[in-house]
Amino acid sequence: MTASQLMIEARGVEKWYPNGFHALRGVDLSVSKGEVVVIMGPSGSGKSTFIRTFNALEEFQAGSISVDGIALSNDLRNIDAIRCETGMVFQQFNLFPHLTVLQNLCLAPVLVRKRRRAEVERQAMALLERVGIAEQAAKYPGQLSGGQQQRVAIARSLCMEPRILLFDEPTSALDPEMVGEVLEVMKALAADGMTMVVVTHEMGFAREVAHRVVLMSEGRIVEEAPPEIFFTNPQHERSRQFLAQIL
């Protein structure tokens, strides 16, 4: 693995919340180009906090993270550069309710990348086509189902043409019958070679799509293995307990 292929490199990341809670206790993770890494773990294990440090939504106090070769520091230009290259999909979708679906997609490319609106709109329509909701482009997010909203959120991230996509429990807020349509979109993205870090509890997705599964517990990574090994022959007692609970 050469250095140019490394998309995310985290070394010894430590994080304390202002209330003193030690959320991340020296976490290391490397993600190379085109890789799909699924992070699992019980709630409170720090997995969401960890993924949110990658685009500086959370600060960290010690260690280092570099994303696409750019070191995360307090330098705001670096943070803005990284945020342009990393898309993030949230559990609660976080679509902008006062804008139509199409406006949701076009806002950032026009404002941040300074691209021409007509050109961005063409690309946005193509992306909506790809996630299967082009006919909803003129509607407002509040008029869509949860699954449709999450697909719009994915398309909104893609419209910035990111090199990495971060997913923070993308299906946890969805009704069960809508989980499938979102996972389908994510599988298609993985098949296209997108670099993805996914925090999720979806076993099927992890088994089928992930190149590596990472288990976090109490702010540490306890196990890191390809899915076929992780699900059948985990090495650590903590992993066996976790799998016993969710399987």
Partner 1 sequence: MKAADSLLASLRRELFASRSDGVISVGLLVLIGAAVAGLLRWAFGQAQWVVIQANTTLFALGRYPLEQQWRIWLLVALLAMATGLSWGLLRANPRADRSGVLWPGNDRIAVAVLAFLAAWGPAALGLALPLQLRWWAITALLLILRWASGRWGRRLPAGLLRWVPLIWPLLYLLGMVLISGGLGLIQVPPSEWGGLLLTVLMASFAILASFPIGVLMALGRRSELPLLRWGSVLYIEFIRGAPLITLLFLGQNILGFLLPGGLAPDRVWRAAWVLTFFCGAYVAEAVRAGLASVPGGQQEAARSLGLSVPQALQHVVLPQALRIALPATVGQFISLLQDTTLLSLIGLLELLGTARTVMANPEFLGKNAEVYLTLAVLFWCCCAALGLGSRALERRLDPSNTPA
Nearer to partner 1, 80 or 175 (CB): 80
The least CB distance from residue 88 to partner 1, in Å, is: 4
Nearer to partner 1, 139 or 201 (CB): 139
57 binds partner 1 (CB under 8 A): yes
80 binds partner 1 (CB under 8 A): yes
149 binds partner 1 (CB under 8 A): no
Nearer to partner 1, 87 or 170 (CB): 87
Coil, strand, or helix at residue 207?
helix
DSSP per-residue string spanning 121-189: HHHHHHHHHHTT-GGGTTS-GGGS-HHHHHHHHHHHHHTT--SEEEEESTTTTS-HHHHHHHHHHHHHH
Residues 105-144 that bind partner 1 (CB under 8 A): 107-108, 111-113, 139-143
Distance, in Å, from the CA atom of 56 to the CA atom of 75, rounded to the nearest integer, reads 11
The least CB distance from residue 52 to partner 1, in Å, is: 9
* Residue from 5, 61, 73, 92 in contact with partner 1 (CB under 8 A): 92
Angle, alpha carbons 234-240-244 (nearest 5°): 130
Angle, alpha carbons 29-30-32 (nearest 5°): 155
Nearer to partner 1, 24 or 84 (CB): 84
Q: Which residues contact 229 (CB under 8 A, 6 or more apart)?
A: none
The least CB distance from residue 241 to partner 1, in Å, is: 32
188 binds partner 1 (CB under 8 A): no
Q: How many residues bind partner 1 (CB under 8 A)?
A: 28
Cα–chain-centroid distance for residue 2? 23
DSSP run (H or E) holding 220: strand 220-225
Distance, in Å, from the CA atom of 95 to the CA atom of 116, rounded to the nearest integer, reads 22
* Residue from 32, 45, 55, 217 in contact with partner 1 (CB under 8 A): 55
87 binds partner 1 (CB under 8 A): yes
Draw the binding track, 14-53, toward partner 1 (x: CB under 8 A; -: no contact): ----------------------------------------
Distance, in Å, from the CA atom of 31 to the CA atom of 16, rounded to the nearest integer, reads 24
The least CB distance from residue 109 to partner 1, in Å, is: 9
Helix axes 146-158, 117-130, angle to 10 degrees: 130
Residues at the contact surface with partner 1, assessed by CB under 8 A: 55, 57, 80, 83-84, 86-88, 90, 92, 94-98, 107-108, 111-113, 139-143, 156-157, 160
